[in-house]
Chains A and B, each alone.
Chain A
Amino acid sequence: MLQLYGTSLRSRLLLGTARYPSPAVLTAAVRAARVEVVTVALRRESGGERAGQGFWSIIRELGVRVLPNTAGCHSVKEAVSTAHMAREVFGTPWIKLEVIGEDDTLQPDVFGLTEAARILCADGFEVFPYTTEDLVVAERLLAVGCRVLMPWGAPIGSGRGLNNLFGLSALRAHFPDVPLIIDAGIGVPSHAARALELGFDAVLINTAVAQAGDPVQMAAAFAQAVEAGRSARLAGPIEPRDLAAPSTPVIGTAFRR
């Protein structure tokens, strides 16, 4: 079972809730993939429209755990204030901490990230930092109290998969006991399977499911890929090699002298 801050989870697929064609499709996708954790956000609410209230009742009816994010925050102060607001509204110490440093790639500002993580961990938050595969940043995040890391696979919404396989593999090898969740950039189920095969503990998917032709079917496909990848990791994949090695025994081959 996956352990995140003392919470045991059967599913290693976390799902974002944005960009679905409709709330009904979101609900069906979460159920089809048997997801236990979904990410949510906070946005400005109008007293007249109250759009957020309807969304929140849909999520509560799903009976899943929520992981609020600080998406859109570009400074430590914004991220810390948003985290406090999320803790009150969603009633959870979990926070997916995003401090964005660059708008074209949505690359995390790792300096702001470590500072915001330090403040929030000291305040009792259970921080899931959205970070890069940088080992030194990972060390800092763990040093300030993070017990889960969420390295990106590729820029958010890009669907490019695992951009830096070497860096991600090094991160996995360097922190064998820290839950590592690939957060962003996954495009297709094979990317997710690959992440689990490499030993990552889980993946968080949003755009690749929500914007698929059939999000419900895609959610189910991701769930299968994640299970397959995890099973493969546990089964012990073979090492790649450069030359062929016959799989059929050569002893007793016919027509040989």
Chain B
Amino acid sequence: MRILVNGAWRETLAAELSAVLEELGYGEAVVATAVNGEFVATGVRAGTRLAEGDRVEVLAPMQGG
């Protein structure tokens, strides 16, 4: 299925958010996630199933004012 990850379309075979992150190479990186604008905590990524066209955000610490 196709999902939108950080604004870019991705083809994925994974069904759950945790597996998508693994597939995209995030591994142990410190990131926070949201699906369709709603925060998804680390602990529930494994149980979060994605559907065609879902918008996934993967954010990490960055410089800020």
Q: Does A41 contact B (CB under 8 A)?
A: yes
Q: Which among B6, B31, B42, B62 has the greatest number of chain A C-beta atoms within 10 A?
A: B62
The answer to whether B64 and A47 touch across the interface, beta carbons within 8 angstroms, is no
Partner pick for B65 among A52, A85, A207, CB 8 A cutoff: A207
The answer to whether A55 and B65 touch across the interface, beta carbons within 8 angstroms, is no
Mark contacts of B27-65 with chain A using CB atoms, 8 A cut-off: 1 yes-contact digit, 0 otherwise: 101111110011101100000000000000111111111
The answer to whether B34 and A52 touch across the interface, beta carbons within 8 angstroms, is no
The answer to whether A42 and B65 touch across the interface, beta carbons within 8 angstroms, is no
The answer to whether B37 and A42 touch across the interface, beta carbons within 8 angstroms, is no
Partner pick for A55 among B25, B39, B57, B61, CB 8 A cutoff: B61
Mark contacts of B4-37 with chain A using CB atoms, 8 A cut-off: 1 yes-contact digit, 0 otherwise: 0011000000000000010011110111111001
Assembly CA distance A95 to B59 (angstroms): 16
Among listed A11-19, A167-175, A192-200, A241-249, interface-contacting one: A11-19
Partner pick for B64 among A16, A51, A88, A207, CB 8 A cutoff: A16
Assembly CA distance A45 to B28 (angstroms): 13
Q: Does A240 contact B (CB under 8 A)?
A: no
The answer to whether B31 and A40 touch across the interface, beta carbons within 8 angstroms, is no
A209 to chain B, nearest CB (A): 10
Residues in A neighbouring B60, C-beta threshold 8 A = 42-45, 50-53, 56, 89
B40 to chain A, nearest CB (A): 9
Residues in A neighbouring B29, C-beta threshold 8 A = 45, 47, 50, 52-53
Task: Assess A52 versus B62: contact at CB under 8 Å? Given A46-B6, A81-B39, A89-B31.
Answer: yes
Residues in B neighbouring A48, C-beta threshold 8 A = 25
Interface residues in B, total, Cβ within 8 A: 27
The answer to whether A85 and B62 touch across the interface, beta carbons within 8 angstroms, is no
The answer to whether B6 and A44 touch across the interface, beta carbons within 8 angstroms, is yes
B57 to chain A, nearest CB (A): 7
B22 to chain A, nearest CB (A): 9
Assembly CA distance A86 to B38 (angstroms): 13
Assembly CA distance A55 to B25 (angstroms): 18
Q: Does A4 contact B (CB under 8 A)?
A: no
Q: Which residues in window 87-128 of A have CB below 8 A to B?
A: 88-90
Task: Assess A44 versus B65: contact at CB under 8 Å? Given A81-B34, A85-B34.
Answer: no
Mark contacts of A31-70 with chain B using CB atoms, 8 A cut-off: 1 yes-contact digit, 0 otherwise: 0000000011111111110111101100100000000110
Q: Does A131 contact B (CB under 8 A)?
A: no
The answer to whether A47 and B30 touch across the interface, beta carbons within 8 angstroms, is no
The answer to whether A89 and B34 touch across the interface, beta carbons within 8 angstroms, is no
Report which A residues bind B (CB closer than 8 A): 16-20, 26, 39-48, 50-53, 55-56, 59, 68-69, 71, 77-78, 81-82, 84-86, 88-90, 156-157, 204, 206-207
What are 8 A-B pairs with beta-carbon distances under 8 A? A41-B62, A42-B32, A42-B59, A52-B30, A85-B32, A85-B34, A88-B42, A204-B65
